[in-house]
A and B are shown apart, each in its own frame.
Chain A
Amino acid sequence: MRHWIFSCKKISLLISESMDRKLPLYRRLGIKLHLMMCYLCRRYKKQLLFIHSILQTEKTIDEIDCASLSPEAREKIKKKLNEEKQ
């Protein structure tokens, strides 16, 4: 039973980790169990997700999705490639 109980410090790492990969079942259960008992970690989780969601909406992806090589850069690269071909 002992190792089912994670400390707040450990939980804070696991919650962050769960945003980057799928955790094994026992860890997910461990988090759930801990969160039921701990309002501070519940807050912490909510806050991380909040920050995450803010960043998602602000993604600069759009800008990058339409980005293209500037004509100057294109010319420069072309020149280099032609040199290389010689």
Chain B
Amino acid sequence: MTTGKGKEINPITWLEEYGDVLYRFARARVKDSFTAEDLVQETLLAAYRSRKKFSGRSTLRTWLIGILRHKIVDYYRKQKPEQGEENPDDFVYGMNNMFDAKEKWKVKPGDWDRDPENEYERKELMTMIHACLDEMPKKMALAYTLRELQGVSTDELCELFQTRKNNCWVILYRARMLLRRCLEINWFQGTK
């Protein structure tokens, strides 16, 4: 510890100083604010319990965020979806038939000439994107949202999902394929 002998560590000051930082970090990575709050609490409790392990080599802030990251990984590990839910081929806009035997496009990408021109159209398109994501296998949609909306790095994503990098890229790929197709059908269809 960097604190000298006798100087008491007060986790309340951690809460005051880093509570919001931790909360924002968590909030960007989990869906709801309650979960984020719980994670902050768990993090501070865990940090206090293992206060002797804080070496002072990192700042208190990075140390706390490190603990929080582990908590988030645990959270997702416990969230493992039921079997069978994750097969993207079951999805309406399934990957199954996108390519022919020679791996050429069978369902050809259409000509999207409908750019959202104004704020209203943009909002509509956003609503459609969310509707498409809702229909996707949960884990895939979550991975995609974290990556594209929260800007979580691929490395961190693989860590959160406890999966190999290769697999991570494939999950994102499938998500993009499905979303692309879903938008094509529901938003752009009929343009050509």
Contact = CB atoms under 8 A, between A and B. Distances in A.
A29 interface: no
Interface size range on B against A? 35 or more
A10 B105 CA distance: 11
A54 B172 contact: no
Interface stretch (B44-52, B58-66, B72-80, B86-94): B44-52
A74 B19 contact: yes
A69 B23 contact: yes
18 contacts: A7-B102, A8-B99, A9-B99, A9-B104, A10-B103, A12-B173, A20-B169, A44-B180, A46-B112, A47-B184, A51-B183, A58-B149, A61-B151, A73-B23, A77-B44, A80-B41, A82-B12, A84-B48
B126 interface: yes
From A20, A40, A41, A76, residue with most partner B Cβ within 10 Å: A20
Contacts of A58: 122, 126, 149
Contacts, number: 132
Interface of B is mostly: helix
B132 to A, nearest CB: 10
Contacts of B126: 54, 58
A21 B176 CA distance: 15
Given A13-B169, A81-B45, 9 more contacts: A9-B99, A10-B103, A43-B111, A47-B184, A48-B176, A64-B24, A64-B150, A69-B19, A84-B48
Nearest to B22: A69
Interface string B1-45: 000000000111001000110011001100001000100110011
A53 B84 CA distance: 32
B170 interface: yes
